[in-house]
Structures are given as C-alpha cells and as structure tokens.
C-alpha cells in the first residue's frame, strides 16, 4: 500500500511563476482533499472532491488557485501566478466513502517556497 503520493516534495519558485502540485490518492478512495498549512493560519481545507467532482471549493483563496481531478487516481492544484504569501506546506488527503468514521489519509505534503 503506497499511501497518498504527492509530488514534488519541495518546490522553490519565483513570484509570478506557475506552480503545479500533484496528488495520487489511495486506490479505491472516493474523496480527495487539498489542504494548506501555515504557521499563521494553521491547517486549512482548500477544496475537496467526491468521485472526481469538486464538492466544496470555498476554501480556495482566490482565482489564482485552481484544482482538477481528471480521474480517480490523479489530482492537481495549480497556482498561477504564484506570490510569496502562497509559501506553505500543501497536503493532499484521501478517504473512503461510506462509513462516517473513515479517517483521511494524508500524503507527505509539498513544501512550496515562493521567492
């Protein structure tokens, strides 16, 4: 069981550049979540999908952020253009549907630094 896979693990980019973060959820999981973690704001949910359909994107900070899930095994979070305040650790998580007590399994995170 490979768990949730995220790439890259670290990304350093300059302000104004496009950044794409990738996530492969655990096979068979119906839900996929994107979180952002910063010292100031803690762990925030950005968007989540159920069966590849975006359900709640109310946490997406602004139009510079977009997320897609073209199939059950892949999702991307894109920031364009990136800004220094986007520097954070971005986590992807997935969970099974059905049971209410199913926990979310987190990926290792992508540490993004925007200079």
Partner 1 sequence: AQKITQTQPGMFVQEKEAVTLDCTYDTSDPSYGLFWYKQPSSGEMIFLIYQGSYDQQNATEGRYSLNFQKARKSANLVISASQLGDSAMYFCAMRHPSGGTSYGKLTFGQGTILTVHP
* Residue 39 C-beta: closest distance to partner 1, Å: 10
What's the chain look like in SS3? CCCCEEECCEEEECCCCCEEEEEECCCCCCEEEEEEEECCCEEEEEEEEECCEEEECCCCCCCCEEEEEEECCEEEEEECCCCHHHCEEEEEEEECCCCCCCCCEECCCEEEEEC
Which residue, 15 or 43, has its beta carbon nearer to partner 1?
Answer: 43
Contact flag: residue 42 with partner 1 (CB under 8 A): yes
Question: With respect to partner 1, which residue has the nearer C-beta, 12 or 15?
Answer: 12
The pattern of x and - marking residues 94 through 113 that bind partner 1 according to CB under 8 A reads: -x----xx-xxxx-xx-x--
Binding site for partner 1 (CB under 8 A): 31, 33, 42-43, 45, 48, 50, 55-56, 89, 91, 93, 95, 100-101, 103-106, 108-109, 111
């Amino acid at each position: 069981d490979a768990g949730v896979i995220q790439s890259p693990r670290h990304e350093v980019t300059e302000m104004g550049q496009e950044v794409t973060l990738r996530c492969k959820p655990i096979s068979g999981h119906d839900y996929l979540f994107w979180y952002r973690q910063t010292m100031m704001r803690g762990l925030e949910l950005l968007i989540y999908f159920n069966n590849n359909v975006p359900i709640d994107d109310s946490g997406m900070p602004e139009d510079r952020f977009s997320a897609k899930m073209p199939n059950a095994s892949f999702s991307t979070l894109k920031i364009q253009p990136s800004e220094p305040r986007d520097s954070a650790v971005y986590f992807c998580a997935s969970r099974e549907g059905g049971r209410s007590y199913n926990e979310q399994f987190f990926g290792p995170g992508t540490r993004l630094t925007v200079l």
